Structure 1
Amino acid sequence: MSLNQIVGRHKEKEILNRVLQSKEAEFVAVYGRRRVGKTHLIREFFGDAICFEIVGLHGVTLPEQLDNFARSLNRAIGLGIQPQRPSSWSEAFQQLEKYLQSLKQRGIKNRRVVFLDELPWLNTPRSRFISSLEHFWNTWASQQKDLILVICGSAASWMLQNIVKAKGGLHNRLTSQIRLLPFTLGETEKYLLSRGVELTHLQVVELYMAIGGVPHYLKQAEPGMSSSQILDKLCFSSSGQLRDEFEKLYASLFDDYKQHLSIVKSLAQKRKGMTRNEILKRTGLTSGGSISHRLEELEESGFIQSVVPFGKRTKDALYRLSDEYSLFYLDWIRKLGKRSPGDGYWLLQQNKPLRNNWSGYAFENLCLKHVQKLKSGLGIEKVETTESPWHYYSSPNAEMPGVQIDLLIDRRDDTINVCEMKYSGSEFIINKKYAAILRQKLDVLRRVTGTRKNLFLTMVTTFGCANNLYAKELVAHSLTIEDLF
């Protein structure tokens, strides 16, 4: 194991360590979006214990996948003589079984790890891959107490439907599962430091707001570069790796990816979120199982997030675009087309209205992904809470105006933290006009919901709030980006 090569991932390492120490056969599923570091985690954690590994090929035929298997088995055996291509997946697993038995006969007593990577790609149409995998596990592998079978896939929804929630021969066969998410803000900083990239917390935040905590994207950062220089190179130079990543990303994960793109593009236009019916109206997609399936696929893959507004029911859920890179691409990269804007483009956008608008939403998005850190900053990490947005729509002649609140942390101890997230390059100043808006939000929230709980206004800003009269009057808690790391 090369645990020193794995940044963060503490919960995942705990799961894998339990698997490694187990005295029984283990069947582990790891899933998460493309580029998030699934393969790296498994290879680094298990190291030399991996006695067989195959990586599925995207968009190829069954014979090509079986050729791929034969080459993988040849590398594992190490004799330089490639086994004959199996005629089917059933025969392939028989060959694998024979090889694993030979290891045992040679007196190898350590845990043996079989790693099947990009499993959805191995499952080509009419290949009977899943039924062959079922047979391999149920009839032989599950009886081998020294065997660990690890399967991995980027198509998270496929992994859920066919493996995690399987109804056939793999039903309830998994012994462990890991949904690997992008790095948190703190993990992102540690990863960058491990590669010699030293940035201020504000620059780490700016980088995260544009490309998220995806390790493969962060890997492109070089020592001695600022966050603006990194983004210029990645996203705006003619050879930037993220210039044309967007469509490739979705095409590699979803069969009908054009529908997924339609949903994502629609959500990018309405930052506060859309209901299912609003998405249908905006995209022109038809109601039924198809839209539900697409939304589930996007959410399980980490591109969108559904939230139920305070006081509403599940059917009123709002869907938001939560993937940082998708939002950044649609707001900035796509609009340039094939044109290269030249060096320093991103730095030149500083303080321009479009960048300020994007920064506000991207920072809010970042905060919503780190609610547990916000709770820790408030000293309520062990208090049972429910987190949700809240809005009140008003008619033109209504007594109370409409208001929108980014986040309510509804606490079991009769308290609600009313959170306002504001991005600023310096201390945030609550002026007379904004103070009136804040009072209005608190008043409308209490009157419309009828809540009798304490309402504590909580400001989450980059560098805190200036300590003026308005802040002293209204703000109960002030959190900064330091609380998010």
Structure 2
Amino acid sequence: MFIGRERELDFLQERYDSERAELIVLYGRRRIGKTELLQQFARDKSAVFYACTECTDQEQLARFSKRILQAGIPAAHFLTSFSDWETALRSIQDVPSEGKKLLIIDEFPYMCASHPELPSILQNLWDHELSQANVMLILCGSAMSFIENELLAERNPLYGRATGIYKLLPLPFVNVREFFPQYSVEDQVAVYAILGGIPYYLIQFQPQKSLEENICTNILQKGCVLYSEVEFLLRQELRETSVYNAIIEAVALGNNTLALIHSKTQIEKTKISVYLKNLMEIGIVTREFSVLSTVKERAGSGRGLYQLTDAYFRFWYAFLYGSHSELEAGAAAGVWE
């Protein structure tokens, strides 16, 4: 079931229909629905869709080569794999297509991790060939700090090459309601307050079950996806999860200034600032300022109010994190009560 994302699909389609080569960077936090969006966009097109994995450079190149060769390019008659990334990426121009040659690389940061020179290779190829070809290249990723601070940074070889940059955000409430058409407005609001607009979370709830049943069986029950989701995401993105747990819980409970977080956690303020910066980079925490605050005040780490931007993190740490022992013991009903 694919719901919403009309604006995003229109953006991608407009770029596909343009008369120039397109290099699009699409990114957003994990579980936001990037892969599903791109699959929906590519469903009626002759696209090469490659999903990167965390593997060696040799394995990555072999798997990427296989996807390109399966697209029916002439080289498939005499090659089983490309010998280098430049040749492999260049071959997108040979893919049979009535429209633009479309290459989608999902989780592009994994590819860069196994081959750090890849942005330089792609930059050279784009400048001298692909920018003049009838191609659309979409680089997609979940590692938001890498995308924003590395790939899109001025020091990166690909800086200034992207013809479009799109940060995917959670679905709005109007789309969340479509997942649960039989729910009352009050229950739809409750779902939105708990899960936010994250498609992966929303599909864990079953529309035919009541809100209470969904919470008890799909959040509070050990073994279900949402039960371990917070811990999984933190371990995927960060180290020292015990420290982050303390800081996130403090913010969830209303300690929204650096001084209050320090008072609650007893962690040094200088260290808290670093941890909060990391949480902001991966989209879990945001810092808000008064409209009257100065540029100097906004630059200081001690100013501003910290809030959890992720609804599910906010729900988990405000209401469930302190009941971890009971949940581990299988006392979901008691925690709910």
Aligned residue number for residue 23 of structure 1? 19
CA drift of 1:305 comes to 1.7
Q: Which runs of 5+ in 2 are unaligned?
A: none
Distance 2:169 2:217 in 1: 25
Aligned residue number for residue 124 of structure 2? 135
Aligned residue number for residue 183 of structure 1? 171
Distance 2:288 2:125 in 1: 40
Distance 1:307 1:256 in 2: 25
Relative to its length, the structure with more strand (as a share) is 1
Aligned residue number for residue 414 of structure 1? none
Opposite residue 176 of structure 2, the aligned amino acid is T
Aligned residue number for residue 108 of structure 2? 119
Instruction: Compute the RMSD of aligned alpha carbons.
Output: 3.0
CA drift of 1:41 comes to 0.9
- Determine if the alignment matches structure 1 residue 152 to structure 2 residue 145: no
Contact 1:160 1:166 in 2 (8 A): no
Opposite residue 97 of structure 1, the aligned amino acid is R
Given the superposition, is the C-alpha separation of residues 263 and 129 from structure 1 closer, same or farther in structure 2, using an over 3 Å criterion? farther
CA drift of 1:28 comes to 0.9
Distance 1:256 1:51 in 2: 40
**Structure index of larger Rg:** 1
Opposite residue 329 of structure 2, the aligned amino acid is R
Identity, in percent, stands at 23
CA drift of 1:320 comes to 1.2
Distance 2:220 2:130 in 1: 49
Distance 2:53 2:239 in 1: 15
Query: Secondary structure of 2:165's partner?
Result: strand
Q: Which runs of 5+ in 1 are unaligned?
A: 350-485
Query: Secondary structure of 1:30's partner?
Result: strand
Contact 2:286 2:309 in 1 (8 A): yes
Query: Secondary structure of 2:256's partner?
Result: coil
Aligned residue number for residue 101 of structure 1? 93
Query: Secondary structure of 1:340's partner?
Result: coil
TM normalised by structure 2 equals 0.84
Structure with greater contact order relative to length (CA < 8 Å, sep ≥ 6): 2
Contact 2:179 2:207 in 1 (8 A): no
- Residues paired across the two proteins, number: 326
CA drift of 1:231 comes to 1.3
Q: How does 1:19-98 map to 2 (within 5 A)?
A: 19-58=15-54, 60-77=55-72, 84-86=80-82, 91-98=84-91
Distance 2:209 2:234 in 1: 29
1:58-80 CA distance string (max 9 Å, x none): 3x332332333234334434999
Opposite residue 330 of structure 2, the aligned amino acid is S
Distance 1:158 1:140 in 2: 26
Contact 2:52 2:60 in 1 (8 A): yes
Distance 1:244 1:130 in 2: 35
Relative to its length, the structure with more helix (as a share) is 2
Distance 2:63 2:17 in 1: 31
Distance 1:272 1:280 in 2: 9
Distance 1:295 1:81 in 2: 53
Query: Secondary structure of 1:124's partner?
Result: helix
Contact 1:207 1:231 in 2 (8 A): no
Distance 1:287 1:125 in 2: 33
Aligned residue number for residue 358 of structure 1? none
Distance 1:330 1:82 in 2: 56
Opposite residue 11 of structure 2, the aligned amino acid is I
